[in-house]
Amino acid sequence: MILRDKKELLWILAVSTLIIIWGYVPTWAGYQAETSELRFRGLYYDSQDYAVHIAMMNAGMHGEWAYQFRFTTEPHNPAYTRLFYVVLGKFSGLLSINPEATFHWARSILGIIALYTLYILMRRIFQDVFWARTAFLLAALGSGMGWLQLLLNWSPGQITPIDFWFTDGYVFFSLSVFPHFAFVTAAMCIVLKLWLDYLENPNRNSIIWIVLTAILVQFANPIAFATIDAALLGAALFSWWNKRKIIGADVIGLSIIAIAQIPLLAYNVIVLSRDPFWIQFTAQNQTLSPPLIYYFWGFAFFCPPAILGVMIAFREKSGVLGACIFWIITALLLAYAPVNIQRRFLQNITIPLAILATKGLITFFEMGTTQSPSLKRWEKSLVIVFVFLASLSSIQLSLGRAVYLQTHPDDFFYPASLDHAISWLHEHAQYNDFVLAAEGTSQVLAQRAGVRVYSGHEMETMDYAAKKTKVLEFFQGRFPSLASKPIQWVIYGPIERGLAPGFQPANNLELVYDSQELQIYRVK
């Protein structure tokens, strides 16, 4: 997994660093947009999940190892699943670094590692450096024609182009947001590369590393390897087809990889399907697929050359291309399966698409130069233009979000007066105390004050819709009994004032902090 050529190593490290920096542009713009009245929440996209992840890092820093929801008050059994941010919090505590700083450092370091392993995979597949770099850039930056959808104002069903909200599907988008995406991306690339090596030269070390990697990924994302497992099978089937026989060592290797993943998979299934609390979480955790036409637009540039790549796969009986075909088909089938997390199965789908598309481009130019030798002069220039066009949505995503954050949208900024509440709670509240506040306030406090909250996240708050209504009724004076056990604190600040300008605290609320803009009450 180490590049021997120093120039090539410098190229991938430089390009990876530039890609990560470009992904930071909107987050940097958010911090630059702060004012004396407004604070940036820390991430340019999906600030709600960002709050959840930082809250889990705080839990890890305070000694927890299991996953326990911090956005709901109901008692429930912690589970040893989705532990990436709990473990990241352990590192944060060990290094005595603020969890948000650790988050961004992890996103940068793991992002570069993910891009490096992606390039190693492409270099393993394409011997020509130019085509390996083409496949790498297509996978890392490639997206769709969402920018054209916006120009045409085409959004049936009021669904915006997936290029600008579907984090799982695009490598650049996912690496620019959450570090656990980078961790899973690196693991996918490592496993596929090791398996391709194994098919050529069976050895137990490859299987051992594949098994260890697959198990580690289950602690970050239990379903992430469903498509990779299919890719491994696809590579083996095409390899056997090419050799005209089934290789016993391959069957044994696949069996060991599958069996090794069963215990943790079974544990996750049991937790999510038998524990009443986790069952409700699963029901609320909906990430359904849009109509299929949106996926076509979202990966439009890949489709023509990738289709040619599929044709070549069957002609050459290529194990590499067979892996990509099985990866894509499995992802699309699961993306419309009767489950609530459909589009999660399309994570990193640009990787197999890029491999097939690059193979298609190679064949296209080979055929073209046979008919017209002068085309050879334009080959690299045309490929560079193609990669640029395929990357336009990624470019627009970064610049567009940077501009958007200058408007100070409520989801990404909070009133500066909350900083005083955060400092006060750090001094006077106990870790795991429950706070009652509006959703925006609750997310910031769970993220930065190390407390738990009554509600604040549509997936991690049980009975989210009902609780959102109850919070509104409480501040409007229609449900005063809501401020009772297990809640210890009530916050009334600018966001709550927007819900209910005339809030009158009930008799069981003791004012313990008072400023012009914000009050904190202790529940007696």
Q: Mean of the per-residue pLDDT values for the chain? A: 93
pLDDT, tens digit, 9 for 90 and up, residues 346-357: 999 999 999 999
Q: Give me the pLDDT at residue 211, please.
A: 97
**pLDDT tens digit string along 336-346?**
999 989 999 99
Indicate if the alpha-carbon torsion angle 276, 280, 281, 285 is positive or negative. positive
| Residue 495 scores a pLDDT above 90 | yes
CA distances from 452 to 72, 89, 399, 464 (A): 7, 16, 35, 15
Residue 489's DSSP bridge partners are 435, 522
The token pair that represents 276 in the structure block: 């009443």
Provide the 3-class DSSP secondary structure of residue 17.
helix
Lowest-confidence region among 3-7, 52-56, 457-461: 3-7
Weakest mean pLDDT among 34-43, 252-261, 499-508 = 499-508
Q: Contact at 8 Å (CB) between 258 and 208?
A: no
Place of tokens 């750090």: 426
What pLDDT band is residue 181 in, cutting at 50, 70 and 90?
Answer: very high
Tokens linked to 299: 């990966």
Question: What amino acid occupies position 142?
Answer: G
Q: Identity (one letter) of the amino acid at 75? A: P
Dihedral sign of CA atoms 188, 189, 193, 199 in order = positive
Region of 367 (left: φ > 0; alpha: ψ -120 to 50; beta: rest) is alpha
Cβ-contact 366, 312 below 8 angstroms: no
- Look at residue 272 in the predicted model and tell me its pLDDT: 82
Whether omega for the bond prior to residue 276 falls within 30 degrees of 0, making it cis, is no
The pLDDT tens digits of the residues spanning 65-77 come to 998 899 999 888 8
Q: Collapsing DSSP states into helix, strand and coil, what is residue 504?
A: coil
| pLDDT above 90 (res 282) | no
The two tokens of residue 30 are: 């958010």
User: How far is it, in rounded angstroms, from Cα 294 to Cα 145?
Assistant: 10
The answer to whether residue 111 scores a pLDDT higher than 90 is: yes
Whether the predicted pLDDT of 277 surpasses 90: no
- How far is it, in rounded angstroms, from Cα 23 to Cα 34? 19
Closest CA to 357 of 46, 137, 76, 86: 137
**pLDDT on residue 291:** 92
Give the list of residues 6+ apart from residue 407 with CB closer than 8 angstroms, or none.
none
User: Mind listing the pLDDT tens digit for each residue in 214-234?
Assistant: 999 998 898 999 999 999 999
| pLDDT of 424 over the 90 cut | yes
User: What is the mean predicted confidence (pLDDT) over 296-313?
Assistant: 96
374 has pLDDT over 80 = no
Place of tokens 């937790």: 271
d(CA 287, CA 168): 11
Q: Among residues of the chain, what percentage have pLDDT more than 70?
A: 100
The percent of residues above 90 in pLDDT, for the chain, comes to 78
Q: State residue 347 phi and psi, 5-degree precision.
A: -60, 130
pLDDT for the residue numbered 279:
83
Residue 483 in this model has a pLDDT that exceeds 90: no
Question: What average pLDDT does the segment 476-500 reach?
Answer: 92
What's the residue count for the chain? 524
Q: What number is the average pLDDT over the span 252-278?
A: 90
Q: Is the pLDDT of residue 53 over 80?
A: yes
Q: Partners of 491 in the beta sheet?
A: 520
The answer on pLDDT for 139 being more than 80 is yes
248 phi and psi, to 5 degrees?
-60, -40
Residues pairing with 87 in the sheet? none
Interval 150-169: pLDDT, tens: 888 887 777 899 999 999 99
**CB distance 438 to 474 below 8 Å:** no
Distances (CA, A) of 127 to 135, 302, 380, 462: 12, 21, 16, 52
DSSP sequence for 250-270: HHHHHHHHHHHHHHHHHHHHH
Residues 117-122, mean pLDDT to the nearest whole number: 98
pLDDT given at position 193: 97
Q: Which helix (H) or strand (E) holds 413?
A: strand 413-415
Q: What is residue 183's predicted lDDT score, i.e. its pLDDT?
A: 97
Instruction: State residue 252's pLDDT score.
Output: 95
Q: Which residues contact 466 (CB under 8 A, 6 or more apart)?
A: none
Give the model's pLDDT for residue 356.
98
The answer to whether residue 377 scores a pLDDT higher than 90 is no
Enter the tokens of residue 42: 């820390």
Burial of residue 341 (CB within 10 Å: 0-12, 13-18, 19+) is middle
Q: Residue 314: is its pLDDT beyond 90?
A: yes
**What is Dmax (Cα atoms) for the chain?**
87
Mean pLDDT in residue range 293-302: 95
Q: Which two tokens stand for residue 412?
A: 């990404």
Q: What is this structure's pTM? A: 0.95
